[in-house]
């Protein structure tokens, strides 16, 4: 019974890992199959560290009768406090590969708050296994996987059941490693180049010069006064303030369906793709995002106080045009970005916001397409652009 069960379960886990099954499905399927082989599982948990700007690790927890759910552990004090009191911290810090605790009876060892909680909820036996991934790819920062296995059967796990779990754990870790690498890659690309560009890169668009045409509304934002603030504020305060402002602008853009392509020091470039949508609707979304961003920046302006060195007004230029979207750079270092005359033009328009005293400027193409009431601020010669262009702002 033991060897056939191990082989069947091992084959299934490897198949799921190769197929790219999501972690929830993998853990749920394995636990249900182990139950079918007679293992009295009450709770199973797997967790791994990861690379993501917002969270440091994630876990998948399965309970008998209620299935599995994914939890992401955010970076911060709450997570640190939970981690300090966890038996899993002991395993990682001291390289303990196996930790078992009986939760009831004369051999009970309840040396962590988590175990007391499990005991109070009816659990009887708990096993934790640390599976190391080795140092083959240290830059990825995935040192290993911890799995915990809990039963509520009064006499706990048998030696045969423990042996089966310990044989399966490395197979499960291998499948989780493969799934996690994909998620890490997607998460890092989303964070650094944006979700759409990330999909293109993972989809194989990685050759220098490989581009596609894109028609879009362009959104260029710049925080006026940042140079002055950089000269007067401590570095940490300046960075915190910049992150607050750029975060608020990004939230406004993404809430309206746009995507940020690049942060430009104290500003950013974003696009609202026209594909499959009316031009007026897309331009309307870009305008709404601009107004939302300026309102959010004004709120932050008030929160930071009236000090001159922290005053960062937000200038935004909106334009409409055709772009080339794809890989630009050297043979060994590429940037997934947009190029074309429209990018240069929106940059030149934004540079006129301060001298014209207008925090929001619209190009002639954008103004005529947006369907909103606009007013002209005159015809202006854009640097490096042959023909003068009439610019507008909202009426």
From the centroid of its chain, how far is CA 389? 39
Strand blocks (E) in 225-352: 259-263, 267-273, 313-329, 334-339
Give the model confidence (pLDDT) of 21-37 as tens digits. 899 999 999 999 999 99
- Which pLDDT score is estimated for 172? 95
Give the model confidence (pLDDT) of 78-114 as tens digits. 556 677 788 988 898 888 999 999 999 999 999 999 9
Q: Token pair for residue 131? A: 């599976």
Contact present, 205 and 327 (Cβ < 8 Å): yes
Quick one: 176 and 233 in the same domain? no
Which residue, chain included where needed, has tokens 């030696």? 159
Quick one: 233 and 137 in the same domain? no
Strand blocks (E) in 31-75: 41-49, 55-63, 67-74
Question: What DSSP character marks residue 370?
Answer: S
Question: What confidence tier does 206 reach under pLDDT thresholds 50, 70, 90?
Answer: low
For position 336, which CATH number holds?
3.30.70.1230
- Which pLDDT score is estimated for 127? 98
Quick one: 179 and 249 in the same domain? no
Residue 245 has pLDDT above 50, yes or no: yes
CA distance 150 to 40: 9
Residue 5 has pLDDT above 80, yes or no: yes
Give the model confidence (pLDDT) of 324-381 as tens digits. 877 777 777 767 777 888 999 999 999 999 999 999 999 999 999 998 999 999 999 8
Quick one: 262 and 235 in the same domain? yes
Angle at 183 between CA 22 and CA 127, to 5 degrees: 60
Name the residue range of residue 302's domain: 195-394
Contact present, 294 and 313 (Cβ < 8 Å): no
- Which pLDDT score is estimated for 374? 94
Quick one: 378 and 275 in the same domain? yes
Averaged pLDDT score across all residues of the chain = 86
The better pLDDT of the pair 376, 177 is held by 376
Of 158, 193, 228, the last residue of a domain is 193
Quick one: 210 and 333 in the same domain? yes
- Which pLDDT score is estimated for 310? 56
Of 46-55, 166-175, 219-228, 243-252, the one with minimum mean pLDDT is: 46-55
Quick one: 166 and 211 in the same domain? no
CA distance 293 to 226: 17
- Which pLDDT score is estimated for 337? 75
CA-closest candidate to residue 154, choices 40, 6, 66, 293? 40
Quick one: 223 and 83 in the same domain? no
Residue 41 has pLDDT above 90, yes or no: yes
Q: Report, as an integer, the average pLDDT of 216-222.
A: 95
pTM for this prediction = 0.66
Quick one: 348 and 382 in the same domain? yes
Q: How many domains, in total, are found in the chain?
A: 2
For position 21, which CATH number holds?
3.30.450.40
Quick one: 264 and 381 in the same domain? yes
The better pLDDT of the pair 120, 182 is held by 120
- Which pLDDT score is estimated for 195? 67
CA distance 169 to 172: 5
Which residue, chain included where needed, has tokens 């270092």? 333
Q: How many CB atoms lie within 10 A of CB 386?
A: 6
CA-closest candidate to residue 381, choices 345, 354, 357? 345
Q: Report, as an integer, the average pLDDT of 301-306.
A: 73
Q: Token pair for residue 194? A: 């944006």
What residue spans of 134-234 are helical by DSSP H?
Answer: 159-193, 195-202, 226-232
Question: What confidence tier does 1 reach under pLDDT thresholds 50, 70, 90?
Answer: very low
Of 144, 172, 193, the last residue of a domain is 193
Question: What confidence tier does 143 reach under pLDDT thresholds 50, 70, 90?
Answer: confident
From the centroid of its chain, how far is CA 313? 28
Quick one: 59 and 157 in the same domain? yes
- Which pLDDT score is estimated for 138? 45
Q: Exposed (0-12), middle (13-18) or buried (19+): which is 378, by Cβ within 10 Å?
A: exposed
Contact present, 325 and 213 (Cβ < 8 Å): yes
Quick one: 13 and 72 in the same domain? yes
Contact present, 30 and 12 (Cβ < 8 Å): yes
Q: Token pair for residue 323? A: 């772009």
Give the model confidence (pLDDT) of 284-298 as tens digits. 999 999 999 999 999
Residue 226 has pLDDT above 90, yes or no: no
Of 193, 226, 261, the last residue of a domain is 193
3 state DSSP class of 344 = helix
Question: What confidence tier does 139 reach under pLDDT thresholds 50, 70, 90?
Answer: very low
């Amino acid at each position: 019974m033991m060897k056939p069960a191990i082989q069947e379960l091992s084959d299934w886990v490897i198949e799921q890992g190769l197929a790219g099954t999501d972690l929830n499905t993998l853990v749920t399927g394995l636990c249900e199959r182990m139950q079918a082989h007679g293992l009295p599982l009450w709770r199973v948990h797997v967790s791994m560290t990861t690379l993501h700007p917002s969270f440091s690790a994630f876990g998948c927890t399965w309970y008998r009768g209620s299935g599995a759910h994914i939890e992401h552990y955010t970076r911060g004090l709450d997570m640190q406090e939970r981690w300090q009191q966890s038996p899993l911290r002991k395993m990682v810090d001291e390289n303990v590969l196996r930790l078992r605790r009986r939760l009831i009876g004369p051999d009970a060892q309840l040396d962590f708050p988590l175990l007391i909680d499990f005991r109070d909820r009816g659990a009887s036996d708990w096993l934790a296994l640390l599976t190391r991934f080795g140092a083959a790819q240290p830059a990825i920062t995935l040192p290993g996987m911890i799995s915990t296995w809990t039963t509520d059967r009064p006499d706990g796990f048998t030696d045969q059941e423990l042996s089966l779990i310990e044989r399966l754990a490395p197979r499960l870790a291998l499948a989780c490693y493969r799934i996690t690498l994909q998620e890490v890659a997607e998460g890092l690309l989303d964070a650094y180049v944006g979700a759409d560009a990330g999909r293109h890169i993972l989809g194989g668009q990685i050759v220098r010069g490989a581009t596609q045409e894109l028609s879009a509304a362009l959104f260029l934002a710049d925080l006026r006064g940042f140079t002055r603030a950089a000269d007067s504020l401590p570095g940490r305060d300046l960075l915190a303030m910049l992150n607050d402002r750029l975060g608020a602008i990004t939230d406004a853009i993404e809430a309206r369906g746009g995507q940020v392509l690049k942060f430009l020091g104290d500003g950013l470039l974003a696009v609202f793709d026209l594909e499959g949508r009316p031009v007026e609707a897309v331009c309307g979304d870009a305008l709404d995002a601009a107004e939302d961003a300026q309102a959010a920046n004004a709120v932050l302006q008030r929160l930071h106080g009236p000090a001159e060195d922290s005053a960062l007004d937000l200038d935004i230029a909106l334009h409409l045009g055709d772009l080339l979207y794809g890989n630009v750079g050297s043979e060994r270092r590429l940037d997934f970005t947009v190029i074309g005359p429209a990018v240069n033009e929106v940059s030149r328009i934004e540079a006129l916001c301060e001298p014209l005293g207008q925090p929001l400027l619209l190009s002639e193409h954008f103004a005529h397409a947006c369907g909103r009431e606009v007013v002209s601020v005159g015809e202006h010669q854009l640097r490096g652009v042959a023909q003068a262009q009439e610019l507008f702002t909202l009426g």
